[in-house]
């Protein structure tokens, strides 16, 4: 099956610093990737849609200047949390859309735990 | 956004079949029905998807109502490893929006 990999799986950063999370599709090309965040015992919330070679589309209420998304190649999208604060601590999950196979199935990465101290 | 409704939680005995229901009365004609499951601290795992006809794969079966307003994910023999939160999702345009899902507990 399709594989999507995230790195790092866990990161701790100091308040006010920035942290970058990478999302890679390992065995397919993904023109579209998605970033979600998930708080404990809650469902996934879509943050933004990342399109290769163009600007990301952010969901309502998500600060685009705080959550910078770059999708420079067909296999890599990055999420940078800028000036991180403790309330940004969360589980961040990326996914990549694999075209074809009916319904354009999306495959998810393993997730990245961010703790801001 | 196309919405789905699922029970918050369900229980099943190990090695027995499990039927996880999902209502999606606002589904449009081109929406595919996707199912994912998520274990704690992991990303969601693809289970199955379909449009109109019932679907089978090595993990599960998907039964879709004739009017497409509901569907059922069927795990034929629940194992302890099937304990997870199961999400029924309709693809709305290019995005997948998650509902609250069903937390499945498998009893040994």
Q: Which of A4, A49, A103 sits opposite B95 (nearest CB)?
A: A49
Could you tell me if A92 lies within 8 Å of chain B, comparing CB atoms?
A: no
The partner residue sitting opposite B91, judged by closest CB among A91, A95, A103, is A103
Choosing among B9, B85, B96, which should be mutated to test the A contact, i.e. which has the most A CBs within 10 A?
B96
Handedness of CA B82, A30, A5, A38 (dihedral sign): negative
Which tokens go with A65? 């200047």
Per-residue pLDDT of chain A (117 residues; tens, 9 = 90+): 669 999 999 999 999 999 999 999 998 888 899 999 999 989 999 999 988 888 899 999 999 999 999 988 889 999 999 999 999 999 999 999 876 655 567 889 999 999 999
Write out pLDDT tens, residues B47-86: 999 999 999 999 999 999 999 999 999 999 999 999 999 9
- Three state DSSP letters for A41-107: CCCCEEEEEEECCCCCEECCCCCCCCEEEEEEECCEEEEEECCCCHHHCEEEEEEEECCCCCCCCEE
**How far apart, in whole angstroms, are the C-alpha atoms of residue A21 and residue A19?**
7
State the pairing for strand pair A32-38/A90-97.
antiparallel
| Model pLDDT, residue B85 | 97
**Quick one: pLDDT at residue A67?**
97
Which pLDDT does position A48 carry in this prediction? 94
CB contact under 8 A, B44 and A108: yes
Average pLDDT over residues B36-42: 93
Confidence of residue B43 (pLDDT cuts 50, 70, 90): very high
Do the beta carbons of residue B96 and residue B1 sit within 8 Å? Answer: no
Out of A100-114, B10-24, B26-40, the most confident range is B10-24
> Residue A104 has what pLDDT?
66
Q: Is the dihedral of CA A79, A80, A82, A85 positive or negative?
A: positive
Q: Is A53 on the interface with B (CB under 8 A)?
A: no
Q: Which residues of A touch B43 (CB under 8 A)?
A: 4, 6, 93, 95, 108-111
d(CA B34, CA B62): 9
Chain A residue at shortest CA distance from B91: A103
Residues of A within 8 A of B45 (CB-CB) are 108
Task: For residue A59, give the chain B residue with the closest CA.
Answer: B95
Q: Does A35 contact B at CB distance below 8 Å?
A: no
How far, in Å, CA of B59 to CA of B76, rounded?
A: 9
Which among A34, A91, A107 is the nearest to B95, CB-wise? A34
Which of B33, B38, B4, B52 has its CA nearest to residue B91? B33
Q: Which tokens go with B101?
A: 């899902």
Mean pLDDT of chain B: 92
Residues A48 and A92 sit within 8 Å (Cβ to Cβ) = no
């Amino acid at each position: 099956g399709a594989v999507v990999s995230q790195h790092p799986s866990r990161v701790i950063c100091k308040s006010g610093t920035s942290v970058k999370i990478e999302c890679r599709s390992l065995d397919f090309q993904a023109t579209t990737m998605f970033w979600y965040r998930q708080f404990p015992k809650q469902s996934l919330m879509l943050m933004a849609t990342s399109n290769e070679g163009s600007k990301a589309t952010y969901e309502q209420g998500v600060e685009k200047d705080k959550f910078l998304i770059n999708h420079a190649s067909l296999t890599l999208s990055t999420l940078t949390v800028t000036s991180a604060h403790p309330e940004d601590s969360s589980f961040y999950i990326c996914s990549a859309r694999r075209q074809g196979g009916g319904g354009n199935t999306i495959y998810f990465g393993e997730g990245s735990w961010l703790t801001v101290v | 956004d196309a919405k789905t409704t699922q029970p918050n939680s369900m229980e099943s005995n190990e090695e027995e079949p499990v039927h996880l229901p999902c209502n999606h009365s606002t589904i449009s004609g081109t929406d595919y029905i996707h199912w994912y499951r998520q274990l704690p601290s992991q990303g969601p795992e693809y289970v199955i998807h379909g449009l109109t006809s019932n679907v089978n794969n090595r993990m599960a079966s998907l039964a879709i109502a004739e009017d497409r307003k509901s569907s059922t994910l069927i795990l034929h023999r629940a194992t302890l490893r099937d304990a997870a939160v199961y999400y029924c999702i309709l693809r709305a345009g290019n995005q997948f929006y998650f509902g609250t899902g069903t937390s499945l507990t498998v009893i040994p």
